[in-house]
């Protein structure tokens, strides 16, 4: 395998992420932001992880109100002579929850962890599974920094 062939192998996933690009597509299932070697996942007031119910989301430059949830990047095998995308690296960062926590006058200490919350990871994993299924590409193992 080569880096080029490996990127081509996952091209249908990136094409599906482009079709469901939250930047211009107002459809409810359009929650993705394609990257060269992966994609970001956003949520909306109607489709979000547990715990995001009271988050005020802005439209900004996107097709609908949304908030960032997670980044997904290709995970490469460690053999430089045989490059292969062996899985996905998933990092969920709840910036909107963190910002809301910072604005609360009676916030708890220490601060909650807003990185890789189980609820955000579970929601993102489901979106990844659906994206790969719609792209017709077999799912890859999903890894987080804790795994």
Question: What is the per-residue pLDDT across 105-130, written as a single tens digit (0 to 9) for each?
Answer: 887 788 889 999 999 999 999 999 99
Write down the pLDDT at residue 146: 61
Please check whether residue 147 lies inside any domain of the structure: no
Rounded to whole angstroms, the Cα distance separating 129 from 112 reads 28
How many CB atoms are closer than 10 A to CB 118? 12
**Beta carbons within 10 angstroms of residue 98's beta carbon:** 15
101, part of any domain: yes
Largest Cα span, the chain: 55
Closest CA to 142 of 94, 74, 47, 49: 74
**Which residue spans within 15-99 are E strands per DSSP?**
32-35, 38-43, 67-76, 85-92
Please state the domain count of the chain: 1
Listed in sequence order, the residues at least 6 apart from 124 whose beta carbon sits closer than 8 Å to its beta carbon are 41, 49, 69, 70, 72, 90, 92
* Domain span including residue 25: 3-142
* Residue 118 lies inside a defined structural domain of this protein: yes
**pLDDT one-digit tens code per residue, 8-49:** 999 999 999 999 999 999 999 999 999 999 999 999 999 999
Whether residue 57 lies inside any domain: the answer is yes
The reported pLDDT for the residue numbered 130 is: 98
pLDDT, tens digit (0-9, with 9 covering 90-100), for 70-85: 999 999 988 877 889 9
Q: What is the structure's pLDDT at 3? A: 77
| Residue 11 lies inside a defined structural domain of this protein | yes
Rounded to the nearest 10 degrees, how much is the dihedral formed by the CA atoms of 89, 139, 79, 6?
-100
pLDDT at 124: 98
């Amino acid at each position: 395998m080569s880096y080029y062939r490996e990127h081509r192998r996952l091209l249908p996933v990136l094409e599906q992420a482009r079709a469901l690009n939250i930047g211009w597509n107002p459809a409810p299932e359009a929650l993705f932001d394609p990257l060269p070697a992966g994609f970001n996942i956003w949520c909306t007031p109607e489709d979000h992880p547990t715990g995001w119910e009271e988050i005020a989301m802005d439209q900004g430059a996107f097709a609908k109100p949304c908030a960032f949830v997670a980044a997904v990047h290709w995970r490469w095998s460690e053999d430089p002579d045989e490059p292969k995308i062996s899985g996905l690296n998933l990092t969920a960062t709840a910036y909107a929850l963190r910002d809301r926590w910072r604005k609360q006058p009676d916030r708890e200490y220490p601060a909650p962890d807003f990185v890789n919350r189980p609820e955000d990871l579970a929601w993102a994993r489901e979106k990844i599974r659906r994206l790969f299924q719609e792209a017709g590409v077999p799912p890859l193992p999903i890894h987080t920094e804790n795994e």
